[in-house]
A and B are shown apart, each in its own frame.
Chain A
């Protein structure tokens, strides 16, 4: 146990390469560059944290990987397969890359169990009965026993996030894409969610692409932290977090953690000021 890469679970799938990606929007005829020649390598089974001020264009990157939006040029590959490139600018969304949404997207009209069982049933991989059984097992593992037959609207927002992550993991994805999932939670719930996420991660080997604007969250969770510039978005500084996994909340008070925060907070602060001055909207 030394540098972070040694402590990673051995893993052969879920490597993402972002190569020279550019995204230009033209909302009112005038071109706006959201992502500027961005390159980033995420190793299989790694937790990669993307840190940047709100509205810096990091969600654009996530949307390109997920297949919600096209890119203007460049290339993104997953385990060597091209997801999108200049010639085929939009990836197809699919169960190998499941998104956990900023405001949560559990279907409020389905029970938690029906939500979790949704993916494999839609794909025709499992029958409804098989999917229910698997979902019950996975929910119990994630500490969600007892809320299976409740609707998402009846449980706490922290619980909802956990259900949504389990719903994603039901599909055995290569990558989990998390878009500021804990943004709306209070800091106490957040700390509980961080440990729960790590626990889930240690059990299910999956690459995690995690967007946040919270530097402490990023360093606490990530193997790798990419600090992004504000619009246009590209990595300003990529940091390998050499704190061994498994981690717990003791890490937050460790000397190494404090050093890493000091090393990076200036870069983050600079970008936050830039974002503030250009008056980017939240989003």
Chain B
């Protein structure tokens, strides 16, 4: 792990990343505060946002010095964590079974495919009617698209496994159960983790939608509430925080995947040489 980090630091990649961020922030600063381009003029500028964000006594009530900032962040992280774990716990087994059993797929998959394209927002009224209180409703809404992404990718993962591996395991005397444990699950793992990457992303996406509609806490609520109160810098603070926290959770999922799939890392490392 440390070796990889030092390799990364010596490569041109951190430098390019820095250039990317500088260009992006520079454009924001220049467009809003220096050039005052049409359409950008009304937006909160980079310095305004930074000042508000690091202000011990923020004008609109939210900065890194206020307790509320962290409690909103924590509320969102906790909701996404619960929804993501639930989606993984249900989606991976369902996907494995759908890929494994043709019969099960034949009667579950059409329903699944019909529900999958329904956007989270369309579920909001049902979720509110179904659940008592906002918390379970928000988690349910966050869970939904994560669940579909995980289950679908897991299923595709099982279907992508080369028939030769199953045949080889049969030749070597593995029972059906052993084939499932030693071939199907590890064989589908790369796809499962692709699914989990997508899943954590759409979880944040849905969470914010749910919080904007029916929340009283959380980063989505902060953005929506600041909008109604014309607290424009706080909107941007909420957005940037979402981006950073979302990025961090994705990185965690990727790290978990790398830990579980050492064989792929080593294979890829061979390919680079």
- A contact residues vs B (CB 8 Å cutoff): 66-68, 93-95, 97-99, 101, 103-105, 107-111, 118-119, 122-123, 150-151, 153-154, 167-168, 171
Contact = CB atoms under 8 A, between A and B. Distances in A.
Nearest to A92: B170
- What is the interface of chain B mostly: helix, strand, loop, or mixed? helix
Contacts of A118: 169, 172, 174, 182
Contacts, number: 81
B2 interface: no
Given A107-B165, A171-B172, 12 more contacts: A66-B167, A98-B172, A101-B164, A105-B162, A105-B168, A107-B169, A107-B186, A110-B263, A122-B175, A123-B172, A151-B267, A153-B264
A62 to B, nearest CB: 11
A204 to B, nearest CB: 16
Contacts of A97: 171
Interface of B: 162, 164-165, 167-175, 178, 182-183, 186-187, 189, 261-264, 266-267, 270
Contacts of A103: 162, 164
B168 A95 contact: no
B183 A94 contact: no
Nearest to B268: A153
15 contacts: A66-B167, A93-B167, A94-B173, A95-B171, A99-B167, A107-B169, A107-B186, A107-B187, A108-B267, A122-B173, A122-B182, A123-B173, A151-B263, A153-B264, A153-B270
Contacts of A98: 171-172
Contacts of A105: 162, 164-165, 167-168
B186 A122 contact: no
Contacts of B175: 122
